[in-house]
Structure 1
Amino acid sequence: MTSSISAAWLRGDARALSILPDRCRQPAARAEAVAAAASRTVPPALLDVLASRNARLAPSPARERHLEMLSRPGTVAVVTGQQMGLFLGPLFTLYKAAAAIVAARALSEETGRPCVPVFWLQTEDHDLPEVDHVFLPRHTGGPLRVALEIPDAATSRAPIAHRHLGPSVTAALAMLRAELSEEPHAHEHLSLLERAYRPEATLAEAFTEVLSNVFAEEGLVFLDPRDARLAPLAAPVHRRSILEAEAISTALAARVRALTEAGFSEQVHIRPGSPLGFFSPDGVDGPRYRMDPSGPDTWSLVGHPEGRTVTTAELLGWLEREPLRFTTSALLRPLLQDTWLPTAAYVGGPGEIAYFAQLEPLYAHFGLPMPLVVPRARFRVLDDRTRRWLGKLGLQPDELNAPREELLTRLAARAGTQPLETPEALESRLFGTFAAELDRLNDSMLALDPMLQDALQRTRGTVRVAVSRLTGRYARALARRDSATAERVDRLRTYVTPNGEPQERVLGMAHFASRIGTRAFTRQVLDACVPFSGALEDLTP
C-alpha cells in the first residue's frame, strides 16, 4: 500500500528523507542554498515587469525596498504561491504567504544576505471549481459556502488569469455581509473585499489587491507569469520541455519508481514522452491542453473535443510568435520560477512537498540547483468562542477529529453522576460473559450428545446479534440524551474540523478578520510562524 510522501517527510521518516532531504532544517544546508541562489540574478526584463505590476498594488514602502533589493546582485528570494481562491480562498493561503515572509527574514538574519519574499500568482491554472468559492463557519448547521455562479466552471480550460468575476460576485459579497455584519471588524474587512472584488475585475486582480493590502507592511512582492511581457522569458523553458520531452519523462519515471519502491505514491502522473506544459491552440485566453506523442514530431491535444493534433514545428512557431499560448504544469512551474528568480527556498503545502519529491531529475536535467523545500505554517484558530465551547464540553481540540457519533457517545458517557458504560464495553461484558459460560459447557454438552454442536453455534450467533442490537440502541440513546451537547459539538466541528477536514483547508479568512481585525489577525499569524517548522500550532486570539 502506497502513501503520500509529504506526511512522512514532515515527521522525519527516513524513507522520505532519503528521497527529499529536509535541508531546510539544517543551518549549513540553508547557508549553502542561499549562497547558490545568490550567484544568480533577476533578468532586467523581469525586474521591469515586477516594478510596473507591483506599482499598481497597495502602497508599500517595504515592497519598494524589496523590488530595489531584487535588482542588486546577491539578493535571493523565498517564493510561495497559490491559486486565486475567492476572497483569498482557504486560510492556508494566508499561512503560506506569512511563512514565506518569516522564512525570508530568518535566512537573511542567518546569512547576512538580502532575502525577499515573493508570491507567485498561479494564474496559469484553469481549475475553476477549486477556486470559485469560500466557506464561512456558522453558529448552526455546517459551514456556509459562498460561491460565484459561473455556468461553465466545471468544463472551463482557460487560464484563471482571463476569468472575470462577473455580476455574481455582488451576490457573494452580500452573502458575506449578511453573515458577518455583526462582527466587530466586519466593516473594515468587507470594505477591503468590496473594493477589490468588482464584477469587471478578474479573479487574479481581486485576489492580488487584497493580499497586497494584507501584507503591505511586510513588502510581499507579487509575480504574475501571465503578463505578456514575460512570455518570451518563459519560451526557452517550454521549448526544452517539448524538444526534450522523451528524456525528461524517462528521468521522471525513474524517480516515480524510486518513490514506489520506498512505499510512496506519485503526486503527479508522468505521461510517457509528453511535454510538461500546456498549449492553447485557440489563443492566449482559450482552453489549454496537455500534449501526448501521437507520431513522429506530432502531438495530440489531450481532451480536445475534435481530437486535434499539432506538430513540433507548429509548436515551435507559436513559441516564436505568441509564447503566451504556452502554460506550465505543476512540475514545470518550479523550473520556470527558478529560471527567473534566485530562489533560495520554496514554501509549500503537503501537495507541493510531494511535487518536489519528484523534481530532482528535472532540476538536474535543466542544470539548476533545487531550492530548499520549506513546509508552510499550519495553524488551527481557537478564538474565544471556540475555547469557551471546548471548556463547557471538557474537550481537547484533537478530540474533534473523532467521528461525530463516537464523540457524542463519549460525552454522554461522561455526563452522568454515575459514569455510564460505553457501548463497546457493555457489548464486551454482556457477550463475553455469555460466551465464557458457553465455552465452559461446550465439552460436557458435546460429550452428552455430539449433535448439540450446531445448536451451540446457532445459539452463540443468535446471542451475538441480540447483544449487538441492544448495545446499538443503547449507543443511540446515549447520543440523543443531550441535544444541547450535540448542538455544541456540531458548532465546534464547523469551526475546527469543517466538513471533516482541517480548518485551514476549508474556512476562509473573512470570518476571523471580521472578528479580530484584518491586521490584528495577520499580525498574530506572522508572530506565531516558526521558520522551517511545519508543525501544527494553535492560534488563540
Structure 2
Amino acid sequence: MPTSYISFKETGYFSNLICDYLDQKESLHPFYNRFPSIENFKAQIEEKKAVFPQENRNVLVEVLKDQYHDIGPSEITKNNVELLKSTSTFTVVTGHQLNLFTGPLYFLYKIVSTINLTKQLKEAYQDSDFVPIYWMATEDHDFDEINYFNFHGKKFQWQGPDTKESSGAVGELPTKGLDQVFELFCQDIGMGADAQTLRTWFEEAYLKHNNLTDATRYLVNRMFGDEGLVIIDAADKRLKSLFVPYMKSELFEQSSQKYVDETIEALNEIDPSYKIQVNPRAINLFYLDKGLRERIVETDGKFSVNETDIFWNKKELQQHLEEHPERFSPNVMTRPLYQEVILPNLCYIGGGGELAYWLELKSFFDSVKVPFPALLLRNSVLTVTEKQAKKLDKLSITFSQLFLKRHSFINRKVREISNIDINFKDQKKHLEEQFQEMYRLAEVTDKSFLGAVKAQEVKQLKGLDKLEKRLLKAQKQKLSDQVSRITDLQNELFPNESLQERTDNFANIYEEYGETFIKTLLKELDPLKAKFVILVV
C-alpha cells in the first residue's frame, strides 16, 4: 500500500488555532511573519542575512566544535558546523526535551522534518547552505515528563537521582540508575540484529556517559549524524553572553509580558476557542545553580530567586548577569528569542502546542527587532505494518475511520457490517413531519396545546433514540467477534485512544524494521505537504 494522507483537521486531534493557521486564515496573518512555503523562504533568507552578526556565527561554531569534541561528528555534520561561519548559511531548527531513549515517536518525525526541509531549501536556493539543528532542551526541569518510554505496551521508567538533583536542569542529571532500566529493556526486547542495535545504542548512550545531555547528544548523533544533523546545547556561557542585552531588558524592563498579553487578548477576540498555550510572567527567566532552576521575581525594586534566600538589588543583579550569564535560563516565553539571537535561523519546526505559543510572540520579536522565523507544523505519522494494513483491508476499515473516537468508530463499523439498518434517521424525520401537522392543528384550534405537542414530540424522539441505542447494543453483542477484532486493531494503532506518535517509542518499529524505518521516513516525509501521513512499512 502506498503512503496515504489525511488532513490535520479531519483527524480531530489538532486545535482550531492550528487548523486555522494551516488554512492561512486572514485574521491570523498579524501573528506570524511568513507562512512556510519554498517561495516565501527567499525573503526570509534576505531578512535574516541582513541582521545576523558574524560575531554570533564565530561564537556558535566555536561552541559546537567543543561540544562535538568527544563524540566525533560525521564528515557531513563536521562540514555543516564549518559552513555556519558563512554569511550564506542558515539553519532550520527543531527542539525537544531530553526524553529517555527519545521518548515518543514524534521526536523522530521532528528531526526528519527538519532534515528534509534543509534538503528542499538547498534544491531551491543553491547559492545558500542550510543546516538542520536539534536544540536540546537541557535546561528544562520537568523530570517526570522525560524519565520514561513505552515499549511493547510497557512503561520503562527511570527513577533517577534524588529529589534535589532532579529539581535542577535535567541536562546535568547523572545517569546513575539507568543500568536497571537497561536490564529490564534487554529482558523484553527480541534477539535479532536490529534489536541488538537498540541494546547497543541504549548501553553506549546511557551507561557510558555521565549526564543526560551527553547521553542524548551521543544517541541522536548515532541515529542522524550521517544526515548532517547538528545538535546544540545552548547552556553555554559563550552563547548566553550573546543574549545578555535581551536578558537585561527582560529583567529590568519586563519587556515580553506587555506584548504577549496584548497578543493573547487579540487572539481571544478572533476566536475564544483558541487555547492559549502559555501565559507570560513579569520576568520570564529562571535562575540556574546546582540542583536549582527557579523563577526570578521582582518586588519593589528588589530581585530574588523564588523559594530561596538568593536576592540582589538592581546593580548587583546586573553585575551578576554580566559575570555569570550561564546562570540565567530563558523560560518558554524567552527561549524562542534566545534561539533566534544565537542561530542564523529561518524556520522553527514543532508540534501544535509549540506553534500555538510561538504565535503569541510575533509582536515581542518585533519590539526587539529580531526577525521572526517561519513556523512549520512538524510531520505527523501513523505507522502501519503490512500485517496491520492487510487486517484493515480485510475488515474494510478506512484510514479516516481509524481516527474516529472509539465509540463513534465501533458504532459506524457495526452499522456497516450489520445485516440490519440500525439508523432511525428516516423514522425520526417522518415523526417530525407528523408533528408539524399537529403544530398546525394546535395553532388554529387552541395555542395553549402547543406546549403539550412539543412535549410529546420530544418524548417520542427520545424513545426512538433509546430504542436505536438498545438495538445497536444488541447488535454489538451479536457481532462481538468482529467488534473485538476492529477494537483490537484500533488499540494497536491508537494506544490508550491517543495518537500512536504521542505514545509509542521508535524501538517498537525499529526492532522489526531497523534502519529501513528511518530511511523510509527520510524518503516519504515532505515537511511542506501539511497533511497527516499514514505510512505503511
TM-score grouping bracket, smaller chain normalisation: 0.7 to 0.9
The residue matched to 1:25 in structure 2 has which SS? coil
- Aligned mates of 1:153, 1:394 — CA distance in 2: 51
**1:400–1:175 distance in 2 versus 1, CA, 3 Å:** farther
Give the structure 1 partner of residue 5 of structure 2. Answer: none
Q: Deviations over 1:192-233 (max 9, x none)?
A: 122212286433322221111111211111110123554434
> In structure 2, the residue corresponding to 1:71 is in which secondary structure?
coil
Summarize the alignment of residues 57-96 of structure 1 with structure 2, pairs less than 5 Å apart.
57=71, 59-96=73-110
Rounded Cα–Cα distance in structure 2 between residues aligned with 1:23 and 1:214: 30
Contact 1:180/1:186 (CA < 8 Å) preserved in 2?
yes
d(CA) in 1 for partners of 2:485, 2:192: 20
* 1:170 to 1:449, Cα distance in 2 relative to 1, 3 A: same
1:339-350 correspondence to structure 2 within 5 Å: 339-350=341-352
CA deviation map 1:445-504 (0-9, x unaligned):
999999999998887676666554443332222223334333333333233322232222
Residue number in structure 2 paired with 1:395? 397
- Which amino acid in structure 1 is aligned with residue 472 of structure 2? A
In 1, Cα distance between equivalents of 2:455 and 2:368: 70
> Does the 8 Å CA contact 1:381/1:538 hold for their aligned counterparts?
yes
Aligned-pair distance for 1:300? 5.6
Partners in 2 of 1:430 and 1:73 — Cα distance? Answer: 71
Shift of 1:51: 0.6
Tell me: CA distance 1:381–1:184, structure 2 relative to 1, closer, same or farther (3 Å): farther
Moved more, 358-367 or 95-104: 358-367
Residue in 2 aligned with 1:186?
Answer: 195
Q: Are the structure 2 counterparts of residues 483 and 179 from structure 1 closer, same or farther at C-alpha, using a change threshold of 3 Å?
A: farther
- Equivalents in 2 of 1:155, 1:391: separation in Å? 51
Residue type at the aligned position of 1:145: K
Q: Which of 466, 471, 475 is the equivalent residue of 2:472?
A: 475
**CA deviation after TM superposition for structure 1 residue 113, in Å:** 0.6
| Map of 1:104 onto structure 2 | 118
Query: Which residue identity does 1:92 align to in structure 2?
Result: Y
2:286 maps to 1:286: no
| Structure 2 partner of 1:420 | 420
2:378 and 2:439 map into 1 onto residues whose CA distance is 61
Q: How does 1:500-519 map onto structure 2 within 5 Å?
A: 500-517=497-514, 519=515
Amino acid paired to 1:313: K
Q: Is residue 521 of structure 2 the alignment partner of residue 534 of structure 1?
A: no
1:365 alignment partner AA: S
Q: What amino acid is the match of 1:487?
A: S
**Residue of structure 2 in register with 1:323 after alignment:** 325
Candidates 298, 301, 319, aligned match of 2:302: 298
Of 223-232 and 460-469, the range deviating more from structure 2: 460-469
Please give the per-residue CA displacement for 1:522-541, whole angstroms capped at 9, x wherever unaligned: 11111112243332122222
Q: Tell whether 2:283 aligns with 1:269.
A: no
Q: Which residue of 1 aligns with 2:45?
A: 34
Q: 2: distance between equivalents of 1:341 and 1:457?
A: 66
**Equivalent position to 2:154, from 117, 140, 144:** 144
Distance 1:362 1:457 in 2: 55
Post-superposition offset of 1:258: 2.4
How far apart are the structure 1 equivalents of 2:439 and 2:265? 55
Instruction: Give the direction of change, closer, same or farther, for the CA distance of 1:446–1:327 in structure 2 (3 Å limit).
Output: closer
1:328 positional shift: 0.9
Shift of 1:99: 1.4
Cα distance between partner residues in 2 of 1:153 and 1:250: 35
Change beyond 3 A, Cα 1:440–1:88 = same
Structure 1 residues 472 and 285, CA gap change in structure 2 (3 angstroms): same
Match of 2:494 in 1: 497
Counterpart Cα distance in 2 of 1:44 and 1:405: 57
Q: Which residues in structure 2 correspond to 1:116-131 (within 5 Å)?
A: 116-131=131-146
SS in 2 for 1:197: helix
**For the Cα contact (< 8 Å) 2:33–2:372, is it kept in 1?**
no
Alpha-carbon separation, structure 2, partners of 1:329 and 1:540 = 39
Q: CA deviation at 1:243?
A: 2.0
2:213 matched residue in structure 1: 204
Question: 1:9 offset after TM fit, Å?
Answer: 0.7
The alignment of Structure 1 onto Structure 2 pairs a total of residues equal to 517
Equivalent of 1:260 in 263, 268, 273: 268
Displacement of 1:439 in angstroms is: 7.7
Q: Report the CA distance shift for 1:442/1:219 in structure 2 as closer, same or farther (over 3 A).
A: closer
**1:386 paired residue number:** 388
Q: Which amino acid aligns with 2:109?
A: Y
- Structure 2 counterpart of 1:334, from 327, 333, 336: 336
Q: Is the CA contact (8 Å cut-off) linking 2:242 and 2:341 kept in structure 1?
A: no
Go from structure 1 to structure 2 and tell me whether the alpha carbon gap of 1:443 and 1:524 turns closer, same or farther (over 3 Å shift).
closer
458 and 508 in structure 1: CA distance in 2 versus 1, 3 angstrom threshold: same
State how far apart, in whole Å, the 1-side matches of 2:164 and 2:333 are: 23
- Larger mean Cα displacement after TM superposition, 356-365 or 17-26: 17-26
Q: Secondary structure at the match of 2:294?
A: coil
Structure 1 stretches lacking a partner, 5+ long: none
Are 1:389 and 1:488, in contact at CA under 8 Å, matched by a contact in 2?
no
C-alpha change, 1:360 and 1:461, in structure 2 (3 Å) is closer
CA distance in 2, matches of 1:178, 1:484: 33
- Equivalence map 1:8-27=2 (5 Å): 8-25=20-37, 27=39
Are 1:5 and 2:17 counterparts? yes
Sort the Cα spacing of 1:128 and 1:467 in 2 relative to 1 into closer, same or farther, 3 A. same
Q: Give the drift of 1:309.
A: 5.7
Would you say 1:159 and 2:169 are equivalent positions?
A: yes
Q: Which runs of 5+ in 2 are unaligned?
A: 1-14
CA distance in 2, matches of 1:204, 1:498: 29
The TM-score, its normalising length taken from structure 2, stands at: 0.85
Residues 4 and 199 (structure 1), Cα distance of their counterparts in 2 relative to 1, 3 Å cut = farther
Does the 8 Å contact 2:118/2:132 carry over to 1? yes
Question: Is the CA contact 1:164–1:199 (under 8 Å) kept in the aligned structure 2?
Answer: no
Compared CA separation, residues 353 and 159, structure 1 to 2 (3 A)? same
Match of 2:482 among 477, 480, 485: 485
Q: Could you list the per-position Cα deviations for residues 112-163 of structure 1 after superposition, in whole angstroms to 9, with x for gaps in the alignment?
A: 2122111111111111222122223x5xxxx433222248779954111122
Contact 2:44 2:373 in 1 (8 A): yes
Q: What CA deviation, in whole Å up to 9, does each residue of 1:1-60 have, x standing for no partner?
A: xx6532211122222234225432151x31122233334334433322211212333541
| Structure 1 segment 457-472 matched on structure 2, within 5 A | 467-472=464-469
Alpha-carbon distance in 2 for matches of 1:438, 1:35? 68
CA distance in 2, matches of 1:435, 1:20: 49
CA distance in 2, matches of 1:464, 1:150: 58
RMSD of aligned alpha carbons: 3.4
Given that 1:86 and 1:133 are in contact with CA atoms closer than 8 Å, whether structure 2 keeps it comes out as: yes
CA gap of 1:75–1:434, structure 2 versus 1, over 3 A, is closer
